[in-house]
Amino acid sequence: EILQQEEGVDVVVRGEGEAVALDLVQAIESGKPLRDVQGIAYRAEGEPTLPPSRPPIQNLDAFPIGWELIQNWDDYQCFGMGRAAVSQFSRGCPHACTFCGQKEFWQEWRHRDPVKVADEIEWLHRTYGVRFISLADENPTTDKPVWRHFLEELAARDIAVHFFISIRTPDIVRDSDILHLYKKAGIQYILLGVESVDPEVLKDIKKGSTTRQDLEACRLLKQHGIFSIVAHVVGLQQESWKNFRTAIKQLAYYNGDFVNVKHVTPHSWTEFARQAKDRPIVQPDLGKWDYRHQILSQPKLSPWKVFLGAKWIEAFVHARPGKLWSILRTQDPFLRRQLIWCFIHTTAVYW
């Protein structure tokens, strides 16, 4: 599609870029035909051509991260904790949620050596003073023994680094016996892909989780002093004011620490997009297909009403009196500072 629409693009690297980009550069340097480079798309006699895809990288540790390219670490900070970095323990997800394209993109779940990743994080802390890591994994908890090994490595080093991680609620419930290890390893924020509070919607999108698990995950994390960020997606069903009221009531019952309200985005390669192909598009600007803007029309509510509904959820969950009071009565100074910092910045983002 890109080659057909954009004349300024000659070659597209498809899928994982580390190996393919290197193969492409070496082919250009040596004069090797592009048809022999796996994992690209290019024009042959003016027509888009796709050589075979390159198999997924099996040894993720074979491609070092270019930390030396960062010139000023103070430019990268997060959650008010100082210098931050984005790292990766695994790639891929074995689940097939209809609205998500991760499974098709990464093809299979793979992980790095837990010891080497822990070494890297410790080195970032000792060398550059990094104190916060956002783990860019789709599903790091896929294999519990491997995941536990990684947590044990982090906990054993006792380094002053905290983590933001995205984890499915069934895995939080599964790991109830090792959540103390989560805390000891430094995990402080967990994004929970709740997506919907309607059991039928969860079934339709093949989420593979239940509302009971969502509730239990929020409660377990609160018991262990780990902040939960509940992801809620607008547009997975025909929205109405009743749906918004139900979502607010249920999310308040879950009592997660924060809510991340997003609009469903119909990525063309997903099952959800194929199912929604007849729904009109209300946002033609692809630059705004960013989960923060409504893309698909809603038969019951106009776009401005959907906008107000999403903002209503955010305001109620974050600013209801009980939530504000819980921040003030938090005894742990570190947790209280984090809650206040997040409330201030969430408010700024809200407006």
pLDDT in tens, 217-272: 999 999 999 999 999 999 998 999 999 999 999 999 999 999 999 999 998 889 99
Torsions phi, psi for 4 (to 5 deg)? -75, -30
Q: Work out the number of other CB atoms within 10 angstroms of the CB of residue 5.
A: 7
Cα separation, 288 vs 297, in Å, equals 15
| 121 pLDDT higher than 90 | yes
Tens of pLDDT, residues 289-298: 999 999 999 9
What is the arithmetic mean of pLDDT over 266-288?
91
Tens of pLDDT, residues 7-38: 899 999 998 899 999 999 999 999 999 999 99
Q: pTM for this one?
A: 0.93
Query: Alpha carbon of 207 to those of 192, 194, 203: distances in Å?
Result: 12, 9, 6
The pLDDT of residue 288: 94
Q: How confident is the model at residue 83 (pLDDT cuts 50, 70, 90)?
A: very high
Cα separation, 128 vs 141, in Å, equals 28
What length is written for the chain? 351
The 3 state secondary structure assigned to the chain is: CHHHHCCCCCEEECCCHHHHHHHHHHHHHHCCCHHHCCCEEEEECCEEECCCCCCCCCCHHHCCCCHHHCCCHHHCECCCCCEEEEECCEECCCCCCCCCCHHHHHCCCEECCHHHHHHHHHHHHHHHCCCEEEECCCCCCCCHHHHHHHHHHHHHHCCCCEEEEEECHHHHHHCHHHHHHHHHHCEEEEEEEEECCCHHHHHHCCCCCCHHHHHHHHHHHHHCCCEEEEEEEECCCCCCHHHHHHHHHHHHHHCCCEEEEEECCCCCCCHHHHHCCCCCECCCCHHHCCCCCCCECCCCCCHHHHHHHHHHHHHHHHHCHHHHHHHHCCCCHHHHHHHHHHHHHHHHHHC
Cα separation, 74 vs 131, in Å, equals 11
| 68 pLDDT higher than 90 | yes
| 161 pLDDT higher than 90 | yes
The pLDDT of residue 166: 96
Query: Of the candidates 128, 131, 136, 143, which has an alpha carbon nearest to the alpha carbon of residue 89?
Result: 136
Q: Work out the number of other CB atoms within 10 angstroms of the CB of residue 72.
A: 7
